[in-house]
């Protein structure tokens, strides 16, 4: 019947979720079909009038074609019924479209009371999601079939949070709080993008929304809140790859220069105090008891919490602060990761499976379950 919907049906991959017409992705939120209906309605009106108008143009082109040189014969003045029809009918259509659009928009703007709230911080070039129980993640984890409200702000420039499968998008503006809400209807993984060009690595602001059923959600979010406490203290570096997700748009592990200096060899350089700063000072002269930096650990900590304090020669001061976003234990884990980079490949994957965070957390969970069963 309809070619576009047939095509999207053939391309559909996600279980029993309905796929939108005209190449739209799956409808994975409550509001998605509402948005699609009005979008489809407008598109079908366009197709309808396009076919009629272009059809008549082509038809008349042949029907009234005359040999060159024939004098024009038309003496049409005006036709009141036709003019009233082409004014009133579109007016009704447009008012209807406005009404549907406004109605949906008002719904989209006001989250229902009791929605599950997640605070969102956008910065160049990643997302951080903060939950009520203290958990912080770089993917958005939400419960299914329950309204979720995102309370969003930006640390630097204009970003926009966009979840195509949910049909929601909202600008994230520095110095302002914007909100967005949705109800996801099915457990699964969906893409989340930044939809506002926000600088060189804009395209890396791509992450996932993980929708979980209620019980799974509660367990997962509790685990997220205290995952770092579950890591044996002498192995904090295993949290490195996970934390590095927030840094990798600017820092490489393979020695290549990006917006920021590579982390390869960073620890050794820092211990030796080799770094030279834009004001001409050198780290070795600034480090030691009573000086600006207490030692290499303190230098890295201050570089994370107050990056503008000393800026490395030949780099810009474009690193955002992570103060308040990374807890003390997380900063320690990053330092430990820098000390143990030899245990990881240049993408940040552990070389030895014993250093895999997920494995360690699973083991900790199993041990906990075993001890509570006794």
φ, ψ at 363 (rounded to 5°)? -65, -40
Choose the one of Cu ion, ligand HEC, none that binds residue 205, judging by a C-beta under 5 to 8 angstroms depending on kind. Answer: Cu ion
**Of 170, 172, 190, nearest in space to 180 by CA:** 170
Choose the one of Cu ion, ligand HEC, none that binds residue 317, judging by a C-beta under 5 to 8 angstroms depending on kind. Answer: ligand HEC
Task: Using the Cα atoms of residue 351, residue 354, residue 357 and residue 358 in order, give the sign of their dihedral.
Answer: positive
**Of 296, 312, 211, nearest in space to 261 by CA:** 312
Q: Which stretch binds ligand HEC (CB under 6 A): 39-47, 100-108, 242-250, 354-362?
A: 242-250
Residue found under tokens 């910065």:
123
259 near ligand HEC (CB under 6 A):
yes
Residues in the chain: 374
Do 56 and 62 contact (CB within 8 A), yes or no? no
Choose the one of Cu ion, ligand HEC, none that binds residue 174, judging by a C-beta under 5 to 8 angstroms depending on kind. Answer: none
Q: Which of residues 158-187 bind Cu ion (CB under 5 A)?
A: 159
304 near ligand HEC (CB under 6 A):
yes
Choose the one of ligand HEC, Cu ion, none that binds residue 198, judging by a C-beta under 5 to 8 angstroms depending on kind. Answer: Cu ion
**Shortest Cβ distance from residue 328 to ligand HEC (Å)?**
13
Specify which residues 179 forms β-bridges with: 151
Residue found under tokens 């001061």:
317
**For residue 125, cis peptide bond before it (omega within 30 degrees of 0):** yes
d(CA 44, CA 51): 10
Do 120 and 154 contact (CB within 8 A), yes or no? no
260 near ligand HEC (CB under 6 A):
yes
Q: Which stretch binds ligand HEC (CB under 6 A): 102-110, 190-198, 258-266, 285-293?
A: 258-266
Sheet of strand 178-183: strand arrangement:
136-137, 126-130, 116-123, 147-154, 178-183
Q: Which is nearer to ligand HEC, 231 or 319 (CB)?
A: 319
Q: Which is nearer to ligand HEC, 130 or 312 (CB)?
A: 312
Sole binder of ligand HEC in the list 303, 336, 350, 360 (CB under 6 A): 303
Sole binder of ligand HEC in the list 316, 354, 358, 363 (CB under 6 A): 316
Sole binder of ligand HEC in the list 182, 275, 332, 357 (CB under 6 A): 275
246 near ligand HEC (CB under 6 A):
yes
Binding mask 123-152 for ligand HEC (x = CB under 6 A): -x----------------------------
307 near ligand HEC (CB under 6 A):
yes
Choose the one of ligand HEC, Cu ion, none that binds residue 251, judging by a C-beta under 5 to 8 angstroms depending on kind. Answer: ligand HEC
d(CA 218, CA 363): 19
Q: Which is nearer to ligand HEC, 184 or 231 (CB)?
A: 231
Tell me how far CA of residue 349 lies from CA of 138, 216, 352, in angstroms. Answer: 17, 26, 9
How much of the chain is in helix, strand and coil states, percent to nearest 5? 45, 20, 40
Helix-then-strand count for the chain, H and E: 10, 10
Other C-beta atoms lying within 10 Å of the C-beta of residue 238: 25
Q: Which stretch binds Cu ion (CB under 5 A): 11-19, 35-43, 188-196, 248-256?
A: 188-196
d(CA 1, CA 262): 56
Q: Which is nearer to ligand HEC, 5 or 119 (CB)?
A: 119
198 near Cu ion (CB under 5 A):
yes
Are β-strands 168-172 and 126-130 bridged in parallel, bridged antiparallel, or unpaired?
A: unpaired
User: Applying CB under 5 A, which residues contact Cu ion?
Assistant: 159, 194, 198, 205
User: Applying CB under 6 A, which residues contact ligand HEC?
Assistant: 124, 246-247, 249-251, 259-261, 266, 275, 300, 303-304, 307, 311-312, 315-320, 322, 334
């Amino acid at each position: 019947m309809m070619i576009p919907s047939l095509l999207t049906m053939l391309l559909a991959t996600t279980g029993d979720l309905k796929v939108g017409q005209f190449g739209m992705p799956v409808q994975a939120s409550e509001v998605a079909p509402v948005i699609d209906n009005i979008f489809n309605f407008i598109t079908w009106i366009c197709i309808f009038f396009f076919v009629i108008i272009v059809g008549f143009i082509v038809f008349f082109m042949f029907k009234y074609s005359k040999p060159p040189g024939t004098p024009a014969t038309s003496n049409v003045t005006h036709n009141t019924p036709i003019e009233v029809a082409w004014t009133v009918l579109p007016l009704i259509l447009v008012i209807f479209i406005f009404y549907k659009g406004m109605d949906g928009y008002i719904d989209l703007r006001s989250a229902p009371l009791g929605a599950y709230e997640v605070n969102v911080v956008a910065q160049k070039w990643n997302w951080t999601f903060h939950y009520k129980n203290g958990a912080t993640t770089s993917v958005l984890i939400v419960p299914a079939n329950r309204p979720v409200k995102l309370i969003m702000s930006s640390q630097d420039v204009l970003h926009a949070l966009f979840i195509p499968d949910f049909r929601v998008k909202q600008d994230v503006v520095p110095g302002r709080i914007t909100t967005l809400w949705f109800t996801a209807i099915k457990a699964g993984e969906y893409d989340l993008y930044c939809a506002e060009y926000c600088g060189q690595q804009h395209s890396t602001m791509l992450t996932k929304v993980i929708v979980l059923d209620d019980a799974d959600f509660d367990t997962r979010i509790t685990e997220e809140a205290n995952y770092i406490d579950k890591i044996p203290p002498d192995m904090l570096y295993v949290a490195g790859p996970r934390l590095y997700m927030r840094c990798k748009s600017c820092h490489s592990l393979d020695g290549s220069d990006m917006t920021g200096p590579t982390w390869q060899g960073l620890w050794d350089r820092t211990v030796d105090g080799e770094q030279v700063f834009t004001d001409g000072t050198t780290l070795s002269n600034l480090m030691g008891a009573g000086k600006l930096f207490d030692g290499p650990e303190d230098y890295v900590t201050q570089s994370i919490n107050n990056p503008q304090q000393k800026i490395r020669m030949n780099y810009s001061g474009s690193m955002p602060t992570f103060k308040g976003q990374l807890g003390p234990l997380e900063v320690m884990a990053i330092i430990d990761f820098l000390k143990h980079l030899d245990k990881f490949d240049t993408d940040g994957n552990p070389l030895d499976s014993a250093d895999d965070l997920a494995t360690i957390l699973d083991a900790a969970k199993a041990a906990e379950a075993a001890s509570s069963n006794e």
